[in-house]
Amino acid sequence: MQRHAPDFSLDGKVTLVTGASRGIGRACALACAAAGSDIILGVRNVAASADLVAELEGAGRKILAVELDIPNNAHIAQAVAAALTTFDRIDVLVNNVGVAPGNLAELVEEKDLDEILNVNIKGTFLMTQAVGRQMIKQNGGRIISISSQAATVALRGEAIYCMSKAAINHLTRCLAAEWARYNVTVNTVSPTFIHTDGTAPFLSDPANRQATLDHIPLGRIGETNDVVGAVVFLASPAASLITGANLLVDGGWSVA
């Protein structure tokens, strides 16, 4: 019996990454491009992303940067329309945009509640809906949302953020069930604390860093490459039978 190696290539694909200017989003764009995909960068400031565009183009990929202010539905519609004008299709969506202003539950202000729910839940849904409609038309696609271990474990001072990520995980299961008949897979990747500009202030405090490490059986803070490996896998043909899944990249935090 002939055996074939699994296919992790994204050759010929078009991937849209939201929040692509830095951190996990930037790393996802670079990793998907390295795997062979052309890239649509969803960013707040197109001009400020010129260096990333140049880096990706230097790797031989076709790149489009689009202004994207989530959850502004008009921005989402314009970004998707621009992407389709340039590429005619979107094969992979990486939902990366999210916010996490933390506070003890009894001290949470309504403006912070609104921001988290609007960006993390409403924004993720509207972005997924807009791209999902196109994927249904083209009878195929991969949707990957960057969730968090916070959807699975309780983090003190992050009740609203945890709630929002749990909502994304369940939305993912619902959409996976609805869109499977269109050959659209929908999954989440849930990282632990990852070294990024956003986590740097928290992790630079030795007490915070040690408290975090105490929860991670593998004994280290994550790097963006730990996350993007999971994203490329779920976007690739190797994951064609996976949908409705939540892939934890948490060093064992959730099972410790």
Give the active site residue among 161, 193, 233, 253: 161
- In sequence order, the 6+-apart residues with CB closer than 8 A to the CB of 89 are 14, 134, 138
Q: How far apart are CA 123 and CA 98, in angstroms?
A: 9
For residue 71, cis peptide bond before it (omega within 30 degrees of 0):
yes
Burial state string for 216-243 with b = 16 or more CB within 10 A and e = fewer than 16 = beeeebbebebbbebbbbbbbeebeeeb
At which residue do the structure tokens 């400031």 appear? 45
161 is catalytic: yes
Instruction: Decide: 14 and 84 in contact? Cβ < 8 Å.
Output: no
Largest CA distance in the chain: 63
User: What's 133's DSSP letter?
Assistant: H
Catalytic residues, by residue number, are: 161
